[in-house]
Amino acid sequence: MCGRFTLTAPEKEILFEFGLHDLPVDYMPRFNIAPGQNIWSIIHDGERKRAGLLQWGLIPPWAKDPKIGYKMINARSETAHEKPSFKHSMSKKRCLIIADSFYEWKKEKEKKQPVRIFPQDRKLFAFAGLWEKWKQEEEERFTCTILTKEANEFMGRIHERMPVILPKSMEEEWIKPVKRDPGEVHQFLEQLTMEDLESYPVSTLVNSAKNESKDCIRPLTEME
């Protein structure tokens, strides 16, 4: 599962890395992004890539209660193409979710130690995401979920699942504005390669979504 991540890079680096013209609303670095919050995402509208904020926790168009989104912050890449909640999004509503690290909790004896994880060779990356538009009477929401997969060897020492991080060369293909068979999208995800990761333990400050400061990403050795 992926339940917390960060986006701390300067705005100009985000624009350059993803080939964007601008960010439509004010940008602020985030050190402890949590489910239910708005997160920076990129779609392709058929003419160009466009960045915007999506609420983290996908609400299917048919849902009657928007609270279902809190149960859908992640979608298993192995089965999303078969699930009613995600099949439509897999077909035509794929997005990039911008990040520069994510957190996971490693079991150590009688406690869980939070760890910050990121690719070795790049500062910014994108999770493979799905998005949806939900509308009920006058209320309208644009929401998303992060796809996950079985942990690789590195992540397996920390947690059994991990988010799908798209190789830089595959980002454009993922959000290409074409309708695809969900099974085809599943095969695309299955064939992705994964670059090497790094990690370090951080403070339990990240356990609470109320904590939002640089101390969340500071190595635990510097906090002691």
Catalytic, 11? Answer no
- Please identify which of the residues 104, 132, 171, 216 carries the catalytic annotation: 104
Residue 7 φ/ψ, nearest 5 degrees: -145, 95
CA geometry: angle 13, 102, 191, nearest 5 deg: 90
Contact 114, 206 (CB under 8 A): yes
- Please identify which of the residues 2, 95, 144, 216 carries the catalytic annotation: 2
Q: 3-state class of 31 per DSSP?
A: strand
Quickly count: other Cβ atoms within 10 Å of residue 26's Cβ: 6
Distance CA 6, CA 30 (A): 6
Distance CA 3, CA 182 (A): 25
Distance CA 192, CA 140 (A): 34
Catalytic, 13? Answer no
Which residues are registered as beta bridge partners of 163?
Answer: 148
**Which uninterrupted H or E stretch holds 171?**
helix 171-174
What are the catalytic residues? 2, 104
